[in-house]
Amino acid sequence: MATAAQRGVIKPGTDENVIKLDFRKVGERKGGGGKAAHVPAGDYLIEVITAKNVPVASGKNKGKRQIAWAFQLKAVSASNDSPQARAGIGDTIYLNTMVEWDNPEKQGWFLRNLIEDMMDATVTGAALDLRLDDKAGKQVGVTLVDGDPYTPAPTAENPDPETRVRSEIKYTFPASRFIPAGGEAPAAAPAAAPAAKAASNGVATAEEAAEAVEEAADEDADIEELPVQSL
């Protein structure tokens, strides 16, 4: 009998560490470059910890695919240096980016900008295969802002959680344009070695993957099969 781990696949014959992205309908990037606009929370350098292909758990997009990113805050910019900002170094910044868009022009630009700035590659107007299992250690500059207040779900250990505010990524820019406080930006960590394919389907749990099989089975149908570049 098949085990839960064996069932935890999205589609036979595919590699779930590769996300198909189609930026051909995403408009030209606006703006003249330079470092991102400064907002009160400020500019930082962050580094990819993990990037996973997971299903949306709830809401109108439930079952659709997204990339769940976890970044480590590595450095504070010279324009945003303060003891409070430095105290956040080492903390984790989370980001979810949809990979299925009803309106690419309005919904695909943020992920396109993130990839261009992280990989130092132009992907506007391109269709590409984005590998997730080799992104650990990649760095990118970001402008962080305060997100909307939220209250975590109660747990047995914390039945009455307090409302919190989480930093969110508003803009991205290349790490090469990041100006650190007090010296050179830290060197990027070596990229993590790809995990064994049997354990690297990019899904948070085998149970989540099994539940998402039917929704994800046709997720590639809307992307034309053409020669693509790989990042």
Q: What is the pLDDT of residues 47-71, one digit of tens each?
A: 999 999 999 988 888 888 999 998 8
User: Is residue 206 a part of any domain in this protein?
Assistant: no
Q: How many domains does the chain have?
A: 1
Task: Region of 172 please: left (phi>0), alpha (psi -120 to 50) or beta.
Answer: beta
* 21 close to 111: Cβ distance less than 8 angstroms: yes
Q: Which residues of 125-149 are buried (b: 16+ CB within 10 A; e: fewer)?
A: ebbbebebbebbebbbbbbbeeeee
Q: Domain range holding 158? A: 15-193
Amino acid, single-letter form, for residue 82:
S
pLDDT tier, 225 (very low <50, low <70, confident <90, very high otherwise)? very low
User: Is residue 231 a part of any domain in this protein?
Assistant: no
Report the C-alpha gap between 103 and 219 in whole angstroms: 16
User: Is residue 216 a part of any domain in this protein?
Assistant: no
Report the C-alpha gap between 216 and 10 in whole angstroms: 6
Cross-sheet strand order for the sheet of 43-55: 92-98, 65-76, 43-55, 139-146, 167-173
User: Is residue 155 a part of any domain in this protein?
Assistant: yes
For the entire predicted model, the pTM comes to: 0.66
Per DSSP, 119 falls in state H
Structure tokens at 162: 């307090």
Q: What is the pLDDT of residue 4?
A: 41
Closest CA to 118 of 31, 45, 41: 45
User: Is residue 65 a part of any domain in this protein?
Assistant: yes
pLDDT tier, 200 (very low <50, low <70, confident <90, very high otherwise)? very low
Query: Which runs of E-coded beta strand occur in 7-134?
Result: 18-22, 43-55, 65-76, 92-98, 127-131
User: Is residue 203 a part of any domain in this protein?
Assistant: no
User: Is residue 60 a part of any domain in this protein?
Assistant: yes
User: Is residue 99 a part of any domain in this protein?
Assistant: yes
pLDDT tier, 155 (very low <50, low <70, confident <90, very high otherwise)? confident
